[in-house]
Amino acid sequence: MSQYATLGVAVIGTGRMGADHVRRLNDITSGARVAAVVDIDADRAKRVADGIEGCTPHTDPATAMADPGVDAVLIASPGAAHEDALLAAFAHDLPVLCEKPLTPDPVSALRVLKAEQRLGRRRVQVGFMRRYDADYLKLKALLDQGAYGRPLMLHNKHRNADTPPGFTNAMMIHDSVVHEIDVTRWLLDEEITAVRVLRPAPTGHAPEGLSDPQLILFETAAGQIVDTELFVNCGFGYQVGCEAVCEGGTARIGDDHGVFVNTAGKWGGSITPGFVERFEEAYDRQVQRWVDATRRGEVEGPSCWDGYAAAAVCEAGVRAQATGERVEVELVERPALYR
């Protein structure tokens, strides 16, 4: 398409994330419009589409992708549905922004990886939004510039106020730590080669059967060690932070957000309630960058390889979580398309 034409986007899935992306594309992003929405709930799809001029509702992703007004696809459906939607997008040769996970496991992710390789070019950007957060971008720039020498360790924290019903130990890896998996690989430009999970005495606020908090340890191919404190029922808000320990200094993000006040004999600030609020600007920047690149006929950002590698580390992490042992990460050789 012409870089001057408005990008018609089909949004697959209109749940919490999908609805937020519909709003973002409709109200914030320039150069794009919501041309179609897809949801297995036909009534919900119609309600969303009715509020947007020129938007058509669908219950089948492939049908929406056949719409001549659709130039690109944003996948925000549950992870188990991603593979079919991605393969349909490949069949229509449409560029895709796919919310994480690429797929729920490395076997299916590898199938998507191979299907994209058969196209001979990248079509997918995976939605690891922390790569578009202002603080993480600054930290990445410092590490790439070698400002403090070679990075040796990362210390991460990832805290949620609470978890939804049915949240499991495996979801702590697949839904939460997956972000630390991606930023570790991105910040250090190294693959994660092994995982350990330590489980201290659980908080009394955790649902029965959920081991919370946990400490997750990664080893990288270059010998760096990365730890992540994961505490998903901390009770007081949403906090994410990262400290890089380098040969000549340290750099830390995630300490302060918003206004710091002194009043009535007290000092302090506020803590964001959830990830949508904390990373709202990152989501905006991610979608705008995807739209801009797509209109230029380019694909940038996290690739299918990044989605596959994250799924492989998650699989190792769940095994490490269950056994208490150090588990090595199994990866195929990185294809030339993603080097």
- Domain co-membership, 100 together with 136: no
pLDDT band at 278 (very low <50, low <70, confident <90, very high): confident
> Backbone phi, then psi, for 247, in 5-degree steps?
-65, -30
Q: Which CATH number do you get for residue 251?
A: 3.30.360.10
d(CA 154, CA 123): 31
- The residue with tokens 């972000």 is 179
Q: Chain-wide mean pLDDT for the chain?
A: 95
d(CA 291, CA 31): 7
pLDDT on residue 269 = 76
Q: Which CATH number do you get for residue 20?
A: 3.40.50.720
Residue 73: name the closest of 123, 111, 107 by CA. Answer: 123
- Domain co-membership, 47 together with 180: no
pLDDT on residue 256 = 63
Q: Residues 6 or more apart from 300 whose CB is under 8 A from it? A: 125, 289, 290, 293
- Domain co-membership, 108 together with 256: no
- Domain co-membership, 26 together with 95: yes
**Residue 1 within any structural domain of the chain:** no
pLDDT band at 2 (very low <50, low <70, confident <90, very high): low
- Domain co-membership, 178 together with 314: yes
Structural domain boundaries enclosing 106: 7-130+281-302
d(CA 339, CA 337): 6
Residue 314: name the closest of 105, 86, 165, 30 by CA. Answer: 105
**Residue 24 within any structural domain of the chain:** yes
- Domain co-membership, 28 together with 142: no
**Residue 136 within any structural domain of the chain:** yes
3-state SS assignment for residue 273: coil
- Quote the strand ranges of 139-213, DSSP E: 151-159, 192-198
Residue 318: name the closest of 329, 307, 303, 304 by CA. Answer: 329
3-state SS assignment for residue 311: helix
> Backbone phi, then psi, for 147, in 5-degree steps?
-55, -35
Longest dimension (CA), the chain: 65
Q: What is the pLDDT of residues 73-130, one digit of tens each?
A: 999 999 999 999 999 999 999 999 999 999 999 999 999 999 999 999 999 999 999 9
**Contact status, residue 94 vs residue 123, Cβ threshold 8 Å:** yes
pLDDT on residue 114 = 97
The predicted model gives 24-49 an average pLDDT of 97
- Domain co-membership, 201 together with 327: yes
- Domain co-membership, 203 together with 258: yes
**Residue 2 within any structural domain of the chain:** no
d(CA 13, CA 35): 14
With a threshold of 0.75, does the pTM exceed it?
yes
**Contact status, residue 269 vs residue 259, Cβ threshold 8 Å:** yes
Q: What is the pLDDT of residues 171-222, one digit of tens each?
A: 999 999 999 999 999 999 999 999 999 999 999 999 999 999 999 999 999 9
Q: What is the pLDDT of residues 236-268, one digit of tens each?
A: 999 999 999 999 999 999 976 666 777 788 877
The predicted model gives 1-18 an average pLDDT of 88
d(CA 44, CA 57): 9
Residue 97: name the closest of 281, 308, 275, 283 by CA. Answer: 283
**From residue 214, how far is each of 198, 207, 298 by CA, in Å?**
6, 14, 39
Number of domains in the chain: 2
Q: In the numeric block, which tokens belong to residue 270?
A: 């506020």
- Domain co-membership, 53 together with 63: yes
pLDDT on residue 4 = 65
- Domain co-membership, 218 together with 74: no
d(CA 315, CA 105): 7
Q: In the numeric block, which tokens belong to residue 269?
A: 């600030």
- Domain co-membership, 146 together with 189: yes
Q: Is the pLDDT of residue 276 over 80?
A: no
d(CA 259, CA 271): 10
- Domain co-membership, 155 together with 221: yes
The predicted model gives 265-287 an average pLDDT of 85
The predicted model gives 310-317 an average pLDDT of 98
Q: Is the pLDDT of residue 60 over 90?
A: yes
Q: In the numeric block, which tokens belong to residue 220?
A: 């990288």
